[in-house]
Amino acid sequence: MKNHPFHLVDKSPWPITGSIGSMTMTSGTVLWFNKNNPMLMIVGTTIILLTMMQWWRDTIREATFQGMHTKKVSKSMKMGMIMFITSEIMLFSSMFWAFFHSSLSPSMEIGLQWPPMNIKSLNPMNIPMLNTMVLLSSGMSMTWAHNALINKNLSQTIQSLMLTIMLGLYFSILQAMEYYEASFSIADSVYGSTFFLSTGFHGIHVIVGTMFIMVSTMRIMKLHMSNKHHLGLEASAWYWHFVDVVWLFLYLSIYWWGS
């Protein structure tokens, strides 16, 4: 028994295994870039994925079956999600800063022009425009899912979440096709570096957001959430709308104005 509404977490191995996985993946990425050997990066990524699955399993267990997520705990978790999204905004702000710093005043090394000489930029009215429509549509279906859950309509909630997942996967496939067909690479001057860094990081966020929504969908199918207690779905909706807004800025600045 306890006389407070807070959750004092049990001892867990996942923070240290996550740290080991992050260090291994980062070191492996450097090795991959310099020695063309991706094995260490794959090992690190696998450690991170296994840690994520088991850490989230424990969190779901605490929330759903042990009743640890009281109103106070839920409020603090919402604040944590807000702070996390704020840190992500700062991350993408630094990438936009790098892009505009280089594009508004092109240096002599890239021919005093933007895009640099011999760089054929992507047509913003082709795949980028389609991806914009896909992400905006997924934002609408995510809002539909949230409203359906609040109105206790389980079938519509699951249908709209499945639609959001399919649109997220479709976006990732289209972006992979775009990268494959691009006439430049990340090594092609500051244009290639800023383009692939910013759009690639956004692509990773889309994949993570899709996984987040997949987990929420499975939990709703198992009746882990109600119309009044659905913090996991709400957090995934916030994250997905953040991904949508970032893409709009990316499209307008890098694809449309930057081309």
pLDDT at 110 (0 to 100): 84
Please give the mean pLDDT across all residues of the chain.
93
Question: pLDDT for 42-53, tens place per residue?
Answer: 999 999 999 999
Question: pLDDT for 15-35, tens place per residue?
Answer: 999 999 999 999 999 999 899
pLDDT at 228 (0 to 100): 86
Q: Is the pLDDT of residue 141 over 70?
A: yes
Question: pLDDT for 206-242, tens place per residue?
Answer: 999 999 999 999 999 999 998 888 989 999 999 999 9
pLDDT at 259 (0 to 100): 82
Amino acid at 171: F
Residues whose CB falls within 8 Å of the CB of residue 40, separated by 6 or more in sequence, listed in order: 24, 27, 28, 31, 32
Q: Are 244 and 139 in contact (CB under 8 A)?
A: yes
Percent of the chain with pLDDT over 70: 99
pLDDT at 9 (0 to 100): 84
Amino acid at 181: E
Helices (H) and strands (E) in the chain, counts: 7, 0
Dihedral angle of Cα 251, 193, 121, 204, to the nearest 10 degrees: -40
User: In this structure, what token pair is assigned to residue 236?
Assistant: 């995934």
Please tell me the distance from the alpha carbon of residue 165 to that of residue 205, in angstroms, as a whole number: 13
Q: Give DSSP secondary structure letters for 132-200.
A: HHHHHHHHHHHHHHHHHHHTT-HHHHHHHHHHHHHHHHHHHHHHHHHHHH-S--TTSHHHHHHHHHHHH
Q: Is the pLDDT of residue 67 over 90?
A: no
Domains of the chain, CATH where assigned:
1-68 (1.10.287.70), 70-257 (1.20.120.80)
pLDDT at 48 (0 to 100): 95
User: In this structure, what token pair is assigned to residue 68?
Assistant: 């640890």
Question: pLDDT for 90-114, tens place per residue?
Answer: 999 999 999 999 999 888 888 888 9
Quickly state the pLDDT bin for 71 (edges 50, 70, 90).
Answer: confident
Sequence-separated contacts (24+) of 59-65 with Cβ below 8 Å:
60/219, 60/224, 60/232, 62/7, 62/9, 63/224, 63/231, 63/232, 64/219, 64/224
Q: Are 116 and 142 in contact (CB under 8 A)?
A: no
Q: Is the pLDDT of residue 1 over 70?
A: no
Question: pLDDT for 155-189, tens place per residue?
Answer: 999 999 999 999 999 999 999 999 999 999 998 88
